Structure formats: C-alpha cells, structure tokens
Amino acid sequence: MSRDIPEFADLRQLARTGRGFKGSWPVARMPRVLAILKQLNESIKPTSGEQFAANENADVAFTMQFDVDVQDIRFCEIGIETQLQLICQRSLERYNECIDRQSALGLIDSMDEDVSLPDRYEPYLISETPFKLVTIIEDELILALPLVPVKPGEDPVDLTFGGDETDQTTIEDKPNLFAALASLKDHTT
C-alpha cells in the first residue's frame, strides 16, 4: 500500500492493478466538507474563529484499496477516520464527533450499471478520467457527517405530548367546529 496519493488517477487502471493507498488528507483541502461544517456550526450560533480553525487543522486518515472481484466488478474498499468539532443541536455545546466509516464502492461508468451491482457495493459513478482521488475521501466524509449533530450521551428527546391516555378525549367527543360555523352561517342568512 502506497503512502503517496496521486492527485489524479485512472480509477479503472488502479482497480486492474490492485493499487492501494494509505495516509491522511487535511480537511482544509476539502472545500465541500468545510462549507458543510461551517453551515452546521453556524446554524445554531456563529462559529468562533478558534472552532472553525480546529476543523481546518483536522486530518482525515484513510485507506483505499482498489481491485477487481471474481465477477469482474471494479471496486474500492475505503476507510476513513477523523475527529471534528461540531455544535450539539440539543445542548448548543461544542463536542468532538468521532468519524469511522468503512465502505465498499462499486466503480461504475454509467447509472445503468447500478442495478447489476451486488448489494455489498455502494455504487460510485466514475464521471471523468483522470479522477481526483481526494474526491472519494471527501464524499465518504460528507456521507459520514451527522445530519443533526448530537453530543454522545445527551438524553434522548421525549416525543410524547399531552397528558396520559386517560386524559385525552377522542375525536368523536369533540364538537365539530365546522358544523358550528355552518349553523352560524344559517342563522345570519
């Protein structure tokens, strides 16, 4: 496995030759991830420069192994690990989000090939050659980010509303407001 990741490569050729890469990549060189992190953190309260800098200084450790399986399907097994500072949507406190994601990507040339991929692969469309390798790492990190950041250990939100079931009246017991409006209309005409 190589520690030097080329900026651009032909993914088909990497799969045919069984190449692999291992290393780290700075989050600061992933503009889409930075934009999402900034949006996540600013949605609650403005991000301090210190916190955003912490994410810019983070690195994503990765492993990528390209190969072709017995069904002649090109694939990439990728693993990423990092730690990012986010703001909890419940407590509004900063916390470290640990990300550890493993994926098996089926490298496809067109969306028509998606249906023939075995379930063990997530389809990954190769749209251009040469392909920017960091794009795969960035895509995986985006997929690993929480939709709603919540600090681990936070109490779950109680989603029950109102009193207990004995206090609630049924719909049949409540007066129909539209019937009351209709009777008012009949009295005025």
Burial environment of residue 4 by CB neighbours within 10 A (0 to 12, 13 to 18, 19 or more): exposed
Residue 84 domain boundaries: 8-144
Residue 171: inside a domain: no
Looking at the 3D structure of the chain, how many domains does it have? 1
Residue 189: inside a domain: no
Residue 25: inside a domain: yes
- What 3-state DSSP class applies to 66? strand
Look at residues 65, 57, 55, 74 and name the one whose alpha carbon lies nearest to residue 5. 65
Residue 173: inside a domain: no
Look at residues 123, 120, 121, 145 and name the one whose alpha carbon lies nearest to residue 43. 145
Residue 187: inside a domain: no
61 has which bridge partners? 24, 81
Note the pTM of the prediction, 2 decimals.
0.74
Q: What is the pLDDT along the chain (189 residues), one digit of tens a residue?
A: 556 788 899 999 999 999 999 999 999 999 999 998 888 777 555 545 555 566 888 999 999 999 999 999 999 999 999 999 988 888 888 899 999 999 999 999 888 887 888 999 999 998 877 889 999 999 999 999 998 888 888 776 666 766 555 555 555 667 777 777 777 777 666
Residue 32: inside a domain: yes
